[in-house]
């Protein structure tokens, strides 16, 4: 499998999913505009080889389809991601095996953890070129500015690596950084994130926080760093579990931190607690510009990189975007873990158009009255990443939760709003959600779109309309005889049914 960015680019090119662009392009607005059009159509990854103001190429849209996200994780089909979720679920809540087969399965998972242990690279490619002191100029990195209202150039797909100053435990996160000067950037992270916690601890101990930014890494490591699953394992072990073997690490030139040895660029710096600069506004995943916030300042004093490095980037915004494709893959990984937490859940789906976490559709095998409401309440508390889900729609297991037409039918035919809709007011909320009356505080809605059973209803439910099975089988046999075998009925064009589905390039 690919263990670095270049290996993954080769995989994409070999499979016809990489487009090399040799024309001169501007990282200010132009690259994002081109990429946005690719994202709307599920187009290929892009490698811009002639970037204005830089000697380094830019790779973007590598994870712009669910298929390519699967390839990044060494898999071919989205369903395979659930196998990974089962492993993580066993590690998160291990249970004593009741059968020999269960013991063997758990033993295999533990062996996978052993294989996932990080390795060492004594001649790391990421340190082939070293730039320190006054020679360091962050402007040499071809950072993009995606939207005209953005405050400046940004880094989006960098691994932000910090360490707890007391325990030495590292944290690897993916946070946005804004260019402030030739050697400074501001980092934007939520107060609950690992990097923010490490900064608070450094402040309590009167120390600066060491911080490294690894750019252009194996996309699989990015997926591991973006997985907020509450398992007491490092992100490096996550990446090893994802990829089936450990990630090669090496120590930074000037910091007591470790970074992936095959990174294209590595930035090394420190944060002085209390030193902040205005960060933003920037376009965010909600589809609007965010506000301006005072954010910690990173002062960089060293940059290392490979020979002829490639800069990997992306940008946020209204879906479809790369972050939405990553979320679809994570949805599959979460599914077995969620089933382990809430046993009645058969499947769940976080639609991309709902910003990948604002609305969830859950299917259950209904066995008793009130079960749908219980499942919705359990979902909100099952994993931390579901805290900000505004809408939970619960349907019967017979509904294909990934088909919006079936979900809308279930809501329309099975819901009495006065009985089946419940709202939880004044709950903790996403500060980026402008829909709430008060920033950081909002409501949640549960919708029971399951078939009602007594005492949920005092009348019989109508029988579902279904074809006669014998006639349906006969029609299957005679389909070619009818002269209809050339029709591809499996391909659905929603625009034929009154929808008007077009791209949202300008959004």
Catalytically active residues, by annotation:
284
CA 235 – CA 310 distance, rounded (Å): 23
Coil, strand or helix at 51: strand
Residues contacting 175, CB < 8 A, separation 6+: 158, 160, 187, 188, 189, 193, 195
Are the CB atoms for 158 and 215 separated by under 8 Å? yes
Q: Residues of 433-444 as b/e, b for ≥16 C-beta within 10 angstroms?
A: beebeeeeebeb
Are the CB atoms for 224 and 242 separated by under 8 Å? yes
Which pairs count as long-range contacts for 398-407, CB under 8 Å and 24+ apart, including other chains? 399/363, 399/449, 401/347, 401/348, 401/349, 401/361, 401/362, 401/363, 402/349, 404/351, 405/494, 405/497, 407/361, 407/449
Are the CB atoms for 52 and 297 separated by under 8 Å? no
DSSP secondary structure string, 124-150? -GGGSEEEEGGG--GGGS--BB-STT-
Q: Judging by beta carbons within 10 Å of its beta carbon (0-12, 13-18, 19+), is residue 277 exposed, middle or buried?
A: middle
């Amino acid at each position: 499998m690919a263990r670095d960015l270049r290996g993954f680019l080769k995989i994409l090119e070999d499979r016809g999913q990489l487009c090399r662009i040799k024309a001169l392009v501007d990282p200010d607005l132009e690259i994002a505009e081109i990429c946005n059009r690719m994202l709307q159509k599920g187009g290929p990854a892009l490698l811009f080889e002639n970037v204005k103001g830089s000697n380094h190429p830019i790779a973007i849209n590598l994870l712009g389809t669910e298929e390519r996200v699967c390839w990044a994780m060494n898999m071919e089909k989205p369903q395979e991601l659930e196998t990974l979720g089962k492993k993580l679920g066993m590690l998160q809540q291990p249970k004593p095996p009741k059968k020999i087969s269960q013991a063997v399965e758990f033993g295999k998972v533990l062996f996978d953890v052993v294989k996932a242990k990080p390795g060492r690279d004594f001649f790391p490619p990421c340190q082939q070129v070293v730039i320190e002191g006054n020679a360091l100029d962050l402007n040499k990195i071809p950072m993009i500015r995606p939207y005209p209202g953005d405050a400046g150039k940004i880094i989006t797909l960098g691994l932000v690596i910090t360490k707890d100053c007391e325990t030495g435990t590292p944290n690897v996160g993916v946070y946005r950084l804004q260019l402030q000067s030739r050697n400074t950037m501001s980092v934007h992270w939520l107060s609950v994130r690992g990097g923010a916690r490490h900064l608070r601890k450094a402040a309590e101990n009167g120390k600066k926080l060491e911080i490294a930014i690894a750019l252009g890494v194996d996309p699989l490591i990015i997926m591991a760093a973006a997985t907020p699953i509450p398992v007491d394992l490092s992100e490096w072990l996550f990446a090893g579990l994802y990829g089936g073997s450990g990630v090669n690490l090496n120590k930074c030139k000037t910091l007591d931190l470790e970074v992936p040895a095959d990174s294209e660029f590595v930035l090394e710096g420190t944060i002085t607690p209390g030193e902040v600069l205005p960060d933003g506004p920037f376009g965010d995943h909600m589809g609007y510009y965010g506000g301006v916030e005072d954010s910690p300042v990173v002062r960089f004093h060293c940059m290392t990189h490979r020979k002829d490095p490639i800069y990997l980037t992306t940008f946020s915004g209204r879906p479809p975007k790369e972050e939405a494709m990553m979320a679809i893959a994570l949805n599959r990984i979460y599914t077995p873990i969620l089933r382990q937490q809430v046993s009645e859940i058969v499947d769940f789906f976080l639609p991309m158009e709902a910003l990948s976490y604002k609305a969830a559709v859950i299917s259950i095998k209904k066995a008793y009255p009130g079960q749908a409401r219980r499942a919705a309440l359990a979902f909100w508390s099952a994993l931390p990443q579901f805290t900000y889900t505004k809408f939970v729609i619960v349907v019967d297991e017979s509904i294909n939760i990934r088909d919006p037409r079936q979900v809308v039918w279930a809501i329309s035919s099975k819901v009495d709003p006065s009985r089946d809709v419940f709202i939880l007011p004044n709950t903790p909320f996403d500060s980026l959600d402008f829909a709430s009356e008060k920033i950081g505080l909002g409501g949640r809605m549960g919708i029971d779109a399951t078939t009602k059973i007594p005492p949920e209803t005092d009348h019989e439910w109508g029988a579902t309309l279904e074809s006669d099975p014998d006639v349906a089988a006969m029609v299957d046999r005679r389909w070619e005889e009818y002269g209809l075998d050339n029709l591809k009925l499996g391909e659905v064009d929603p625009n034929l049914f009154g929808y008007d589905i077009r791209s949202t390039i300008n959004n």
